[in-house]
Amino acid sequence: MAEKSEREQAQRLIAENRKARHDYHVLDTWEAGVVLLGTEVKAIREGRVNLRDSYARVDNGEVWLMNVHISPYSHRGYAEHAEMRQRKLLLHRDEIRKLIGRTIEKGLTLVPLEMHFRKGRVKVVLALAKGKQGHDKRETLRRRDIDRETRAAVKGGADRRSG
């Protein structure tokens, strides 16, 4: 049985925003902590989180995560949380200043790419991104298809030589 590396043990992927990589050019990324309630953390541990159509916004020197859907915890008692509430992101002051400066630029937005556990804490990978236009999206799909066909051809050629 292979030993997991120290990094793999410390970090576990919870949710990924695949649509964001399709819709945006990722320019830069940051890892931020998230302020959560206890029932939200338990629901996240169950995998009840959806990052689709989510984004982040800088407001009064603070960064807020918007439109992240965290379903209610299955074994909750009286404690309950709002599923779509805005959640504060924890970043260093100088990182927030950089984000403010760069999001003022035309067409740049903050998009969460993934949510994971690092040493027991929920972290969000936040990307500074520029929206893709239709022809860019088609080009990305075309390139992915070509790569897939190339891998299949190489694999098929290796099978014929060994047989």
- In this prediction the pTM is 0.71
pLDDT, tens digit (0-9, with 9 covering 90-100), for 77-125: 676 777 778 889 999 999 998 888 888 877 788 899 989 988 888 899 9
- Rounded distance, CA 73 to CA 118, Å? 21
Asked if 107 and 124 count as a contact pair (C-beta separation under 8 A), the reply is no
pLDDT at 24 over 50: yes
Question: Nearest CA to 89 among 15, 28, 33, 17?
Answer: 33
